[in-house]
């Protein structure tokens, strides 16, 4: 018995701490996703309390993405230069401060500023988790670890739907937002305890900027980024905001039930991300799973947009498939690192993640504007009511975006999971 104990495999303490640090980074992404989708279960309350329509709510929600997408390149450069520990600590506290501002906002502009602050600091979440993975684990495990991080993020998206709606019903949207602020404080403490920086800065600011310039001149970087818009458009435009009122209208269910159905998109992403990441690493292919996922997303989104009379179970299946296909984006993150210099890995991830999450900044207000454009003037309880045809027309934009993504992914160069730059 003692001999067995002596020969039992053990995990090196440094690697164990690295794993804890990666889990903390992934939990930051979980938290960021709760904050990202929170307005989708507050639409009626926000329209009523601030006397605004769909375009204003879409733009309000998009302020998160203005901050998030706008910070991606700076975040990538900062991660390459300073490492994730200090940056993620400050960012988690920034998210908490943004939640407090959002909760206490007396005007729409103050509300928007809170959303912007949340997005700008949440920008450190996924890139931080991926930086920890890239620093401490071998390249052949990057897509798998990124997939698990994405799975936790999607779990946050699920939590930010029906469970958060129940919290809003029990308290109100302001008190619920204050409750979310506590999560940022706890995360900051967890980062301090578990995250360590493995690599010190290896170059001057000029060298860092030179790396960014090389990433920006790489055609493959932009093909992967634009393809990613096709995967995240339905995630952020449909599931992240406008899917809930659409399902309330077309299925005759309440907002909590509708949030539960749209959360199937996040569940699909959460299930698909580690599976697709593992398959991509296992068979050493990046291009095929990316193209296949985009195709599935395009087909499922077309069904949601153009067949609103489907039974609820079929809508739930389409939502799941839309998310499962979209999880192919995780392969794009792995590929862009492999197609750019290792020292500029953070910058490459920042550019792609900035464009990908820019889908929220693009689609959420655009869909709201399209809905207002076709609004018939009908009101119910102080909230604007939109027709099924208006939603179908608006969601067509997401279908077109997915097909554009397919075209870009087909032009992506296969890396076979090897660093080629």
Sign of CA dihedral 347, 348, 352, 355: positive
Residue 57 CA to residue 68 CA, distance in Å, equals 18
Q: What is the percent of the chain where pLDDT is above 70?
A: 93
Mean pLDDT of 244-252: 92
pLDDT of residue 99: 96
372 contacts: CB under 8 Å, gap ≥ 6: 53, 54, 55, 384
DSSP string, 235-252: IIIIIIIIHHHHHHHHH-
Mean pLDDT of 210-218: 84
pLDDT of residue 12: 56
> Max CA-CA distance within the chain?
79
Residue-wise pLDDT for 141-169, tens only, equals: 777 787 788 889 889 988 998 899 999 99
Residue 394 CA to residue 21 CA, distance in Å, equals 41
What Å distances lie between residue 108 and 55, 115, 337, 385, CA to CA? 13, 11, 39, 21
380 contacts: CB under 8 Å, gap ≥ 6: none
Average model confidence (pLDDT) across the chain = 87
Q: How confident is the model at residue 13 (pLDDT cuts 50, 70, 90)?
A: low
Residue-wise pLDDT for 256-306, tens only, equals: 899 889 999 989 988 998 899 889 988 889 999 999 999 999 999 999 999
Q: How confident is the model at residue 201 (pLDDT cuts 50, 70, 90)?
A: low
Residues paired with residue 384 on neighbouring β-strands, in sequence order: 379
Q: By the 8 A CB rule, do 329 and 293 touch?
A: yes
Q: By the 8 A CB rule, do 354 and 238 touch?
A: no
Q: What DSSP element (H or E) covers 300?
A: helix 287-306
Q: By the 8 A CB rule, do 105 and 53 touch?
A: no
Q: By the 8 A CB rule, do 418 and 338 touch?
A: yes
pLDDT of residue 8: 44
pLDDT of residue 1: 46
User: What token pair was written down for 136?
Assistant: 């401490």
Of 38, 49, 272, the C-alpha closest to 160 is 38
In the chain, the domains with their CATH numbers are: 11-192+203-410 (1.20.1250.20)
pLDDT of residue 9: 47
Report whether pLDDT(313) > 90: yes
pLDDT of residue 199: 61
Least confident piece of the model among 16-20, 58-62, 196-200:
196-200
The number of C-alpha atoms within 13 Å of 200 and in the hemisphere containing its C-beta is: 0
What Å distances lie between residue 265 and 232, 261, 332, CA to CA? 11, 8, 19
Least confident piece of the model among 41-45, 66-70, 134-138:
134-138
Residue indicated by tokens 């602050």: 117
Residues in the chain, total: 421
Q: By the 8 A CB rule, do 281 and 143 touch?
A: yes
Residue-wise pLDDT for 72-100, tens only, equals: 878 877 887 788 889 999 999 999 999 99
Report whether pLDDT(204) > 80: no
Q: Which residue has the higher pLDDT, 68 or 211?
A: 68
Residue 129 CA to residue 148 CA, distance in Å, equals 10
Of 324, 343, 408, the C-alpha closest to 212 is 343
Q: How confident is the model at residue 205 (pLDDT cuts 50, 70, 90)?
A: low
Q: Which residue has the higher pLDDT, 215 or 100?
A: 100
Least confident piece of the model among 143-147, 321-325, 370-374:
143-147
Q: Which residue has the higher pLDDT, 185 or 309?
A: 185
pLDDT of residue 215: 87
Residue 200 backbone zone (phi > 0: left; psi -120 to 50: alpha; other: beta) = beta
pLDDT of residue 28: 94
């Amino acid at each position: 018995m003692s001999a067995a104990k002596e020969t039992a495999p053990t995990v090196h303490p440094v690697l164990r701490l690295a794993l804890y640090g990666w889990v903390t980074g992934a939990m930051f992404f979980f938290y960021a996703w709760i904050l990202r989708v929170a307005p989708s279960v507050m639409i009626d309350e926000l329209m009523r309390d601030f006397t605004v329509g769909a375009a204003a709510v879409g733009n309000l929600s998009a302020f998160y993405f203005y901050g998030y997408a706008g910070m991606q390149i700076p975040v990538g450069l900062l991660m390459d230069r300073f490492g994730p520990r200090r940056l993620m600590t400050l960012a988690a506290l920034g998210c908490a401060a943004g939640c407090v501002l959002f909760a206490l906002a007396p005007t729409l502009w103050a509300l928007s500023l809170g959303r912007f602050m949340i997005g700008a600091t949440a920008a450190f979440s996924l890139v931080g988790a991926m930086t920890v993975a890239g620093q401490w684990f071998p390249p052949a495990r990057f897509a798998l670890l990124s997939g698990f991080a994405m799975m936790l993020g999607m779990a946050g998206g699920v939590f930010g739907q029906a469970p958060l709606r129940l919290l809003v019903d029990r308290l109100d949207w302001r008190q619920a937002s204050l409750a979310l602020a506590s999560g940022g404080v706890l995360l900051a403490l967890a980062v301090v305890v578990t995250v360590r920086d493995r690599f010190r800065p290896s170059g001057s600011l000029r060298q860092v900027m030179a790396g960014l310039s090389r990433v920006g001149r790489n055609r493959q970087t932009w093909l992967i980024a634009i393809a990613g818009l096709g995967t995240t458009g339905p995630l952020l435009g449909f599931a992240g905001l406008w899917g809930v009122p659409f399902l309330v209208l077309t299925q005759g269910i309440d907002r909590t039930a509708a949030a539960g159905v749209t959360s199937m998109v996040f569940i699909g992403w959460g299930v698909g991300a580690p599976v697709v990441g593992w398959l991509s690493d296992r068979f050493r292919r990046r291009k095929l799973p990316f193209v296949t996922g985009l195709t599935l997303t395009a087909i499922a989104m077309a069904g949601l947009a153009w067949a609103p009379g489907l039974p609820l179970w079929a809508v739930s299946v389409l939502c799941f498939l839309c998310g499962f296909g979209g999880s192919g984006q995780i392969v794009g993150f792995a590929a862009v690192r492999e197609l750019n210099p290792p020292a500029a890995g953070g910058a490459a991830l920042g550019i792609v993640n900035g464009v990908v999450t820019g889908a929220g900044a693009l689609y959420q207000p655009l869909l709201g504007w399209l809905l207002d454009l076709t609004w018939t003037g009908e009101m119910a309880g102080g909230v604007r009511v939109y027709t099924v045809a208006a939603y179908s027309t608006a969601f067509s934009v997401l279908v077109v975006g997915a097909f554009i993504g397919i075209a870009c992914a087909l032009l992506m160069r296969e890396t076979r999971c090897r660093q080629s730059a």
